[in-house]
Amino acid sequence: MNMYAVVNPATGTVEREYPTATDAEIEQALAAADTAFREWSKTSTVAQRAALIKKVAQLHIERREKLAEIINREMGKPVDQSLGEVDFSAAIYDYYADHAEKFLADEPIDLLDGGGSAVIKRGPVGVLLGIMPWNYPYYQVARFAGPNMVLGNTIVLKHAPQCPESAEAIQQIFDDAGFPKGAYVNVYATNEQIADAIADPRVQGVSLTGSERAGAAVAEIAGRNLKKVVLELGGSDPFIVLSTDDLDATVEAAVAGRFENTGQACNAAKRFIVVADLYDDFAGRFTKKVMEIADGLAPLSSAAAAERLSEQVDRAVADGAHLVSAGERNGAFFPPAVLTGVSPASPSYREELFGPVATLYKVDSEDEAVKVANDTPFGLGSYVFTTDAEQAKRVADKLDAGMVFINAVGAEGVELPFGGVKRSGFGRELGRFGIDEFVNKKLIRTVS
């Protein structure tokens, strides 16, 4: 089987294969992107590029059913969630089309000494390389391509090997929207070809969403070649319950926060940290709800992903954890499960469980909850549930995370920056900050 192929995780059927790019095709892609930067980006206005991005948003909506069907086949996402992803992706493109001129406007600087003026002009840096994952095939591309293409950067994009059809569909959208050749170029590249592309002097930056291992490898090559990198890596987000006036609603939020996309989200709630006086009641209701969703749960993205998760869970149990599961793994289908009693000495304690498995922890105080929440290599998102507004602010300040959501899950928005700290990566996407990563903030100082 070719490296790039659509393998339906529900059936294991290889539905379509795509040829891997040749070295000559990679060179053509880089050359086209470089030419588009020099000839199109340098001569187009922000307003003109925003109009093209607006068309990209419109085409996502016009083709939403087809786009949703594609990722349902590729990585198993339920059609209703796939449609939601397409719509959110369109909203991202719309957001940057509507706000680009404001975000990229000249920024005067008040001089402390001397006459004349000083201004910051924001402009593109050149060709960017994007390396995208399989779990949100359209959304991940949108939050990278939307701000950077309206800014004037051009993009060479390598999608996940199991997402070649959605990658093809995205390329078609950019072509049909009217972008010139080379402005956005999809490549079915190997890891070795990507390593060479990062080192290529025409490439000015790299954005990767993926695993720690992939992020470390990309950052190492980029560092040797003095290229800026934005990394959005794993997460083991805490869901902290300190108090509640509606435990059923809190449990519903916990289930939604863990099991959306079958638990395959870097910013999903994964570790549920509950104060002792609520723990037994929460654990009972939560576990009951988790077992009830088993029949309607979609498969993981692949049988290999289910096998990796199974190995992690088995290791946790071997190290003393207790498992409540709704059944046995069957191919890519993994039963929802709840782990308790995971020992801090177990490797599983600090690993990301990427799938429908929740881990519960009992704590005696706010301070202990924060300590357990921060006892992880990751620092992406976090969730705090409490009826005490001052406590919420206090805990949010203490958490080692790039994002804190108080009394809510699913509260992300196109205007809100997304990113983490520690081994969850660095840099931000979405919102005002997402357009400021790969930008030349050029100072122009005039002395009259």
Query: 353 with 270: CB under 8 angstroms?
Result: yes
Nearest-10 Cα torsion for 406, 407, 412, 413: -90
* CATH architecture, range 4-233+424-446: 3-Layer(aba) Sandwich (3.40)
29: Cβ contacts below 8 Å, ≥ 6 apart: 21, 156, 185, 187
Domain range summary for the chain, segments of one domain joined by +: 4-233+424-446, 237-413
Query: 374 with 342: CB under 8 angstroms?
Result: no
Query: 235 with 353: CB under 8 angstroms?
Result: no
Residue 185 parent element (H or E): strand 184-187
- The span from the CA of 262 to the CA of 352, in Å, is 14
Q: Which of 163, 266, 352, 366 is catalytic?
A: 266
Reported as a single tens digit per residue, the pLDDT across 146-190 is 999 999 999 999 999 999 999 999 999 999 999 999 999 999 999
pLDDT for the residue numbered 247 = 98
% of the chain with per-residue pLDDT over 70: 100
Reported as a single tens digit per residue, the pLDDT across 346-391 is 999 999 999 999 999 999 999 999 999 999 999 999 999 999 999 9
What is the distance of C-alpha 56 from the center of its chain?
A: 20
Low-confidence ranges of the chain (pLDDT < 50): none
Enter the tokens of residue 283.
């654990």
pLDDT for the residue numbered 1 = 76
Superfamily of domain 237-413: Aldehyde Dehydrogenase; Chain A, domain 2 (3.40.309.10)
- The span from the CA of 269 to the CA of 236, in Å, is 7
pLDDT for the residue numbered 442 = 98
Q: Which of 74, 85, 165, 232 is catalytic?
A: 232
- Annotated active-site residue 232? The verdict is yes
pLDDT for the residue numbered 448 = 79
